[in-house]
Amino acid sequence: MKITVDDGLCDGLGQCALVAPEVFALDDDERLVVAPEPARELAGKVAAAARACPVRAISVEES
Amino acid sequence: MTEVVDLAELAATAGLEQELDRLAKSQGIIRTRQLNQQETWTVLGAALTRELLSDPRLSNDVHTHAPHGALVPGMAVMLLEQDDPGHARNRRLVSAAFASRAVRQLEPRIVEITRQLLDGLGERGTADFIEEFTYPMPLEVICELLGVPAEDRDPFRKWAMDISAAPSVEAMQAAAVELFSYCIGLIGAKRERPTEDLLSELIVARFDDGSALSDAELSSFAAVLLIAGHDTVTNLLANALHDLLAHPEQLAALRRDPALVGAAVEEALRFRGSAMTTVNRVAREDIEAGGVTIRKGELVRFLLNAANRDTEVRADPHSFDIGRATAQHVAFGMGPHFCLGQRLARQEATIALTEILQRFSTLELAVPADEVRWLPSDAIRGLVELPLRYAR
């Protein structure tokens, strides 16, 4: 699965990290950090995290 | 039969939080009656709140899926009553204005507004801090941000009160119509003579496909930003002051270490946030949750102040303690509708508490604690007035 974050849209609100903390986290400067290769079984959580983003800055491609 | 709770009636008492706690202990989700007499499911528990706020089977678009439940029929509120992808598309137009960098840039002006209002309190010794500070401060900030002329502001307080703590559904609808028609005029004036502010920016903003917001959409945007942008902060600031004064040892701790102000703001949000209840959602299909079946077409709202007093958020949830570790509260909601203005609200609250405590070495309730009056609102948790005694 390929996760892309639009940095111009992301404001570090952290809603994705609440839904899928295994994959998304905010660093000390509230910048989003995405785990490089999330396990396939996290696909459902990643999709939910993308939906939780207020500006839909996250897109996910199934590989 | 399940008990149907009248939240507004309960909110008029100081015992709201205790009563919600009693209810939450037996059920994570209850039935409440809203202003138009419609019954809604109301979520109290923290786990259920997180689960359902992320559930795509719940829609914010009540006008399409449950028109009978809409408090103001036919007027979909921008962002609040929209679902994605349309919601995210509209939110992107304003997110930069409320992003961390933009809000940091507002800091000096918010400090200036705060100091001017505190100067205005002078040496009188007692004042209603809502009337003289917590109402005008965030109103001034949001009006400058949006570009709302100072001379227009007289009716705003009544509109905000009638929308959030309405005596009747007719009063609420009348206020919404007046506010909306004011905003139509405002947008028309800015279209003719653009100024440097968010509303003028929104008028010329274009989506990726080149289209723009209609006048009705722009007016709805203006209305929601104007009301949500000050009413919630007015009540948050007043609640925070009230709760700090009601817990003198916490106030003393904050005075000893002003760096605790951020923690104090978070505890104020958790303990008695002002945006008590979210707007309604509607079930797009039957949903099993918290031991009940929410039927397709039924309304659901979230009582965030109850979730924030769940023992899962804080082991001792009814104590007000700025030094205690707390799990993530949900005072700003969660998920796609996570509060747009949360950074601004936090900054205004931080500045207000810092400046007030610096200015006044004496600050106390000017009425007995059990005589403060609470708004009879099922949406906003707040005080009718906050009479304080103060001295430099």
Q: How far apart are CA A60 and CA A49, in angstroms?
A: 10
pLDDT at B141: 97
Q: Looking at chain B, which runs of residues are DSSP E strands?
A: 4-5, 29-33, 39-43, 58-59, 126-128, 281-283, 287-289, 292-294, 299-302, 362-365, 387-391
Of A11, A18, A55, the CB nearest to B334: A18
Distance from the Cα of B335 to chain A's closest Cα (Å) equals: 4
- Inter-chain residue contact A52 with B88, CB threshold 8 Å: no
Quick one: tokens of B290?
Answer: 């918290």
Rounded to the nearest angstrom, the minimum Cα separation between B56 and chain A is: 8
Question: Quick check: B260 and B29 in contact, CB under 8 A?
Answer: no
Q: For chain B, say whether A55 makes contact (Cβ under 8 Å).
A: yes
**Which site among A26, A30, A55, A58 would you substitute to test the B interface, given the most B Cβ atoms closer than 10 Å to its Cβ?**
A55
pTM of structure: 0.96
Domain count, chain B: 1
What does the DSSP 8-state code read for residue B128? E
Yes or no, beta carbons of A18 and B50 under 8 Å apart: yes
Question: Taking the CB of residue B208, how many other CB atoms lie within 10 A of it?
Answer: 7
Q: What's residue B200's pLDDT?
A: 97
Q: A53 touching B, CB under 8 A?
A: yes
ipTM of model: 0.95
Cβ separation B88–A12 shorter than 8 A = no
The torsion angles phi and psi of B282, rounded to 5 degrees, stand at: -130, 140
Check residue B277 and report its DSSP letter.
Answer: B
Chain A residues with CB-CB distance to B337 below 8 A: 54
**Minimum Cα–Cα distance from B341: chain A residue:** A13
- What range does the domain containing A15 cover? 2-61
- Which structure tokens are listed for B63? 């006008």
Report DSSP state, residue B276: -
User: In the numeric block, which tokens belong to residue A42?
Assistant: 């996290």
User: What is the domain extent for residue B284?
Assistant: 4-391
Sequence-distant (6+) residues with CB within 8 A of B373 are B12, B383, B384, B385
The enclosing domain of B203 has a CATH number of 1.10.630.10
Query: What's the burial of B354, exposed, middle or buried (CB within 10 Å: 0-12/13-18/19+)?
Result: middle
Chain B residues with CB inside 8 Å of A56's CB? 84-85, 88
Distance from CA of A35 to the nearest CA of B (A): 20
Low-confidence residues of chain A, pLDDT below 50?
Answer: none
Give me the number of domains chain A comprises: 1
In sequence order, which residues have a C-beta less than 8 Å from that of residue B356 and are 6 or more positions away? B118, B133, B241, B363
pLDDT digits (tens, 9 = 90+) for B97-154: 999 999 999 999 999 999 999 999 999 999 999 999 999 999 999 999 999 999 999 9
Q: Which residue of A has its CA nearest to B327?
A: A18
Smallest Cβ distance to B100: which of A11, A18, A54? Answer: A11
| pLDDT given at position B1 | 46
When CB atoms are compared, the residue of B54, B91, B328 closest to A52 is B54
Give the position of tokens 């029929």: B73
Q: Residue B129, SS3?
A: helix
The CATH number for A44's domain is 3.30.70.20
Q: Is B142 exposed, middle or buried (0-12, 13-18, 19+ CB in 10 A)?
A: buried
Query: Which pLDDT does position B234 carry in this prediction?
Result: 98
CB–CB contact B100 A15 (8 Å) = no
Looking at CA atoms only, how far is residue B245 from chain A in angstroms? 31
Report the alpha-carbon distance of residue B90 to residue B254 in Å, rounded: 40
CA triple B125-B130-B132, angle to 5 deg: 55
A22 vs chain B: nearest CA distance in angstroms? Answer: 17
Asked if B59 and B282 count as a contact pair (C-beta separation under 8 A), the reply is yes
Query: How are strands ordered across the β-sheet holding B4-5?
Result: B4-5, B29-33, B39-43, B299-302, B281-283, B58-59
CB contact under 8 A, A9 and B50: no
Q: Does the beta carbon of A44 lie under 8 angstroms from any beta carbon of chain B?
A: no
Listed in sequence order, the residues at least 6 apart from B357 whose beta carbon sits closer than 8 Å to its beta carbon are B254, B255, B258, B363
- Low-confidence residues in chain B, pLDDT < 50: 1
Tokens for B38?
């419609």
Task: Give 3-state DSSP helix, strand, coil % of chain B, rounded to 5.
Answer: 55, 10, 35
Q: Which residue has the tokens 């109850």?
A: B306
Name the minimum distance, in Å, from the CA of A60 to any CA of chain B. 15
pLDDT at A62: 81
Report pLDDT digits (tens) over B79-110.
999 999 999 999 999 999 999 999 999 999 99
Q: How far apart are CA B167 and CA B51, in angstroms?
A: 33
